[in-house]
Amino acid sequence: MKQWKIQPLNPPSVTRHCSKCGKPSQFECSGNFRVNANGRNLDVWLIYQCAKCNTTWNMAIFSRVKPEQIEAGLYQAFLHNDRETAMRYAFDPAILYRNKAEARFDEVAYRVEKSRVPGDCWLEVIAPYDFNLRLDRLLSEELGLSRTRVKKLLESGRIFSREMALTPKTKVKGTIAIEKLDDIEENEKDLGADEEMHKAAV
């Protein structure tokens, strides 16, 4: 079966009030963490920077936790500004909500890594992060079909999943096993190295 892995290439920036600009501004993720010890407690933040005035804002990851409450490998990832760890928290909806940060997912660029793996479905889509990428857009771009055509195929059940209901507005997240009727023609892009970069849009 076909397998597509959706890999974001950058974390989303966030919109929030900038104390220096005095109005809502775009804050870009630096990919760096700040770890602060306060007695027996630790605070961990992911650092953002205002795109206009360079004012920094720290998004809280952990607040007033005991060192033993953070797994050793994760603690080291914070100390070494591990990129994958920063990406994971930058996309985390619970963390964003808790910090009152509005993520700008439309600015996330992504790569589609394609391969063939054992399996009994037509296509498996794997997306480790949710950034509002719609299934109809992904299928349209990668299969060489118009978005209107893909929408009709989804709405008529000619492209479907045995595990969940698929609609044009289905968001690509987690793992989705997709089937299609055999008479549907596709013109999948020849990506050479089996990958292509896209700019996300809702």
% of the chain with per-residue pLDDT over 70: 93
Residue 71 is inside which H or E element, if any? Answer: none
DSSP E strands, the chain: 2-8, 13-18, 23-38, 41-50, 56-65, 102-104, 109-116, 123-127, 159-160, 174-180, 195-199
Specify whether 148 is located in the same domain as 79.
no
Out of 52, 72, 106, pick the residue that ends a domain: 106
Specify whether 123 is located in the same domain as 194.
yes
pLDDT at 78: 97
pLDDT in tens, 114-129: 999 999 999 999 999 9
pLDDT at 198: 67
Domains in the chain: how many in total?
2
Range of the domain at 185: 2-7+108-199
Specify whether 95 is located in the same domain as 118.
no
Out of 106, 132, 163, pick the residue that ends a domain: 106
Out of 82, 106, 130, pick the residue that ends a domain: 106
Specify whether 153 is located in the same domain as 125.
yes
Specify whether 52 is located in the same domain as 113.
no
